[in-house]
Amino acid sequence: MTPVLSPNTQAILLLTAPLIAGRGSASSDLLSLGEYKRLARHLREIQRQPADLLSPDAAEILRACQPVIDEGRLQKLLGRGFLLSQVIERWQTRAIWVVSRADAEYPRRLKTRLREDAPAVLYGCGDMALLETGGLAVVGSRHVDDALIDYTMAVGWLAARAGRTLVSGGAKGIDQAAMRGALEGGGKVCGVLADSLEKTTMNREHRNLLLDGQLVLISPYDPSAGFNVGNAMQRNKLIYALADTSLVVSSDLNKGGTWAGAVEQLDKLKFVPVFIRSTGKSSAGLDGLRKKGALPWPNPQDVDSFEDVFNVAMPTPTASPQVGFALFSNEDPSSADTKPTTPVSPDTAPAPQAASESSAPVDVVFDAQPPAEASEELPPVTPEAVAPIDEAKEFPQPESTPAEVLFAAVRTAIQQLLSTPMKDAEVAAALDASNAQAKAWLQRLVDEGVLEKQKKPAGYVVKQKRLFE
């Protein structure tokens, strides 16, 4: 069933989406993810929601939003109704559906696990119900040999025979091999795409699988969007969030989306166990993940032993550490797309309406937010940290300003991001920051000797320590 485009979703699309129907260019006035997040919070504070920006009293609401976003800019974006109708018609002819975090149909797994990191808008084609089935996430490198392709297809096939959904990213190499193996085994597959959703859904082979309910394809990015390094790296958290467990078949060391996604899962998010391939030729990347806590894949050969993989104790569920500005305030990181509701205790079992509009958090981030990373900079627990209060007073710790905490988080985020060279625009997109802000951060890190700007390939990269330096 294709969800009806809700008024909230229409408003969010008008404010944030390129709305490119065929040829054309996106509006330069589009709200960045950070800007939309601030607007959503402001709307919550004045007990409004995005849909109200399209209501008869919208003029009054827009004036009330002036302190956050320029009223004229909002009016211009909201005036794109005709363009939106064109794009919606195009999507409907291709059976592409759209949901926002304010919608009841929005995948609950993403909403509850990623919270503020869950995409504001999700595009997809196929049976949405598959997004709630969990399953096995399989990820790996694009460029692999035939032996690893065959290995991965066998894993996908076994997942299908066990009745477990296969979740992957749709990229060539390991991703496509896992998905193809599961589909050939008659299983269900969820593909999380970083680009070209529209083109992929129109593929004749995919079309039948989508219509038959065997395959669902989703993306947090515009259906016509092309490849972007930052998008490809940042969508990996969605793959893990939709699964019950995961397998990394291959990975480079300290670079690439597969490595970054697995490390993020092991070190921060901890949604699911992370297994690594344990047979055949190993690699520096797999060895590095093992040292970080990844488990050896037990190589199940039948359905029963495959099910044992899902019985491995999962880490204690935690909300994403990326919770916007909550680090510096007592504000509850709950819904800002919808009107305020009575907070629900985390110990209370979620009611059926928990996935509804009223409970949807919508301080939405497609990509990592610099302020959110500040939580990573908290010091580790040490004996000194748990010393008696009186003793601690004798050794006061130096105070850090919010700005220093923030930039420390930014420094860490950029260092993790630049495992491969990236241009300033790509860094800005990955961090949901303006180009000017990203350039300022990058230049500061260059001045500090943390980064260097190279010509071939062009871009910024973490500066390598040299002998005697």
Average confidence (pLDDT) per 10 residues, the chain, 469 residues: 83 92 74 88 94 94 96 96 93 94 93 89 96 97 95 98 97 96 97 96 92 96 89 91 98 94 95 96 95 96 95 61 33 42 37 35 35 33 33 39 76 83 82 81 86 83 58
Contact 216, 167 (CB under 8 A): no
Could you give the CA distance from residue 288 to residue 272 in angstroms, rounded to a whole number?
Answer: 18
Q: What is the spatial distance between Cα 26 and Cα 42, in angstroms, rounded to a whole number?
A: 25
End-to-end CA distance of the chain: 62
Whole-angstrom distance, CA of residue 289 vs CA of residue 263: 7
pLDDT at 371: 33
Contact 116, 365 (CB under 8 A): yes
In the prediction, which pLDDT does 321 show? 45
Q: In whole angstroms, give the CA distance from residue 463 to residue 454.
A: 10
pLDDT of residue 322: 42
Assessment of whether the complete model's pTM goes beyond 0.75: no
pLDDT at 116: 77
- 93: tokens are 């002819």
Output the pLDDT for position 222.
93
Q: Domains plus CATH for the chain?
A: 7-104 (no CATH), 127-311 (3.40.50.450), 370-462 (1.10.10.10)
- CB–CB of 155/176 below 8 Å? no
pLDDT in the model for residue 1: 54
In one letter, which amino acid is 168?
A: S
160 phi/psi in degrees, rounded to 5: -65, -45
Identify any residues that bridge with 282 across adjacent strands, giving them in sequence order.
Answer: none
Are the C-beta atoms of 46 and 68 separated by less than 8 Å? Answer: no
